[in-house]
A = this chain, B = another copy of it.
């Protein structure tokens, strides 16, 4: 039984939403250590090594800011530190999270311009390039891209976005949301020339929600000096100043930092490349299951497949929410709902974080049995297809 449950159930809940992901037992046990003095000498030592260690997962040598706040806050931080009221930002509406980020930009007084997709592929790189080329006045101050669009399971190719931007010579900043990809899929803040990488704790980093991140390039730091959006809590400057000695300008989420420290140790012990390969493998197994069921993966472009989650489309006339409710009721598994315009049209399978082959097989079995129970037309054999793949690549 979980902390709160309306009815008793045996065994572990299958939390197969695309985040919060399953938190390793060791991380939970790190988090429940007694809170320490965040101004004492030991905290400085702890903070310093942690602020260094966290850079590895961003693949950066530049500062990574850790906020005692959930991921949405780190979106806001990226915007308010680099932009001024009325600035134009170019955003790619790859799905619901890109949509929400745009909404936030508007509320903060920015002018988001949207490159839309059909929510079945990732960011439109040629579209970005074309728009930037057209912006000869350099009105656009930033390009905002969601790396892994959690609502659709499409992953944008950030290196290609960067190359396209470079090709135009446009000076806009590149802000990338990796909330649901960092620690699960390859990501390279420095090599890909990202200016602000936004991230959160509760997905690939295998933590509960409550921490978020901004990795910051030199160019972004420079932009922040002239940026006029009001900011205080999110302000990078005092953060970076305090972080130099391992401290924070205001009370950090101490226990979440313990959890982060342990989660990073686990990821680095497994090896980031191994972690990514594991996610790729589970994603491929899942897509094979979906195809075997005769269902459609929401993401249409194989180059954009997400290794973090798979959104599955239901046949017309069938309710994804009814399916999810049946699976939760009968099999004690939570799947992700369709968000925004995909509500009731797709369900999303999270296969990220602290996860392994047999947990994936439990997950896919639950979906296959759920399809049957909920009366969703499908072919059997999804589970078998996944087993074929996994056992062939064990």
A contact set with B: CB distance below 8 Å: 1-6, 8-15, 17, 19-20, 22-26, 28-43, 45-46, 67-73, 75-76, 85, 103-104, 107-109, 200, 202, 208-210, 229-233, 235, 250-256, 258, 261, 266, 269-270, 275, 278, 328, 330-334, 337, 354-363, 365-366, 368-369, 372-373, 380, 383-384, 387, 390-391, 394
Inter-subunit contact A365/B359 (CB<8 Å): no
Question: Chain B nearest CB: distance from A89 CB in Å?
Answer: 14
Using Cβ atoms and an 8 Å threshold, which residues of chain B touch A208?
Answer: 35, 253-256
Inter-subunit contact B394/A41 (CB<8 Å): no
Inter-subunit contact B354/A333 (CB<8 Å): no
Using Cβ atoms and an 8 Å threshold, which residues of chain B touch A20?
Answer: 35, 37-38, 251, 254
Using Cβ atoms and an 8 Å threshold, which residues of chain B touch A85?
Answer: 230
Contact among B8, B29, B36, B252 for A32, CB-based, below 8 A:
B29
CA distance A249 to B30 in the complex (A): 28
Inter-subunit contact A331/B108 (CB<8 Å): no
Inter-subunit contact A25/B15 (CB<8 Å): no
CA distance A283 to B114 in the complex (A): 55
Inter-subunit contact B35/A25 (CB<8 Å): no
Using Cβ atoms and an 8 Å threshold, which residues of chain B touch A35?
Answer: 15, 20, 22-23, 202, 208-209
Contact among B109, B332, B358 for A356, CB-based, below 8 A:
B332
Q: A3-B258, A4-B36, A10-B356 provided; 20 other pairs, C-beta below 8 A? A: A1-B25, A1-B266, A3-B30, A4-B46, A11-B359, A13-B36, A17-B39, A19-B251, A20-B37, A68-B70, A68-B210, A76-B233, A108-B231, A108-B232, A332-B356, A332-B357, A361-B369, A365-B387, A383-B383, A384-B384
Inter-subunit contact A334/B37 (CB<8 Å): yes
CA distance A12 to B32 in the complex (A): 15
Inter-subunit contact B31/A255 (CB<8 Å): yes
CA distance A251 to B39 in the complex (A): 29
Among A6, A34, A35, A387, find the residue whose CB has the most chain B CB atoms closer than 10 A.
A35
Inter-subunit contact A29/B31 (CB<8 Å): no
Inter-subunit contact B328/A107 (CB<8 Å): no
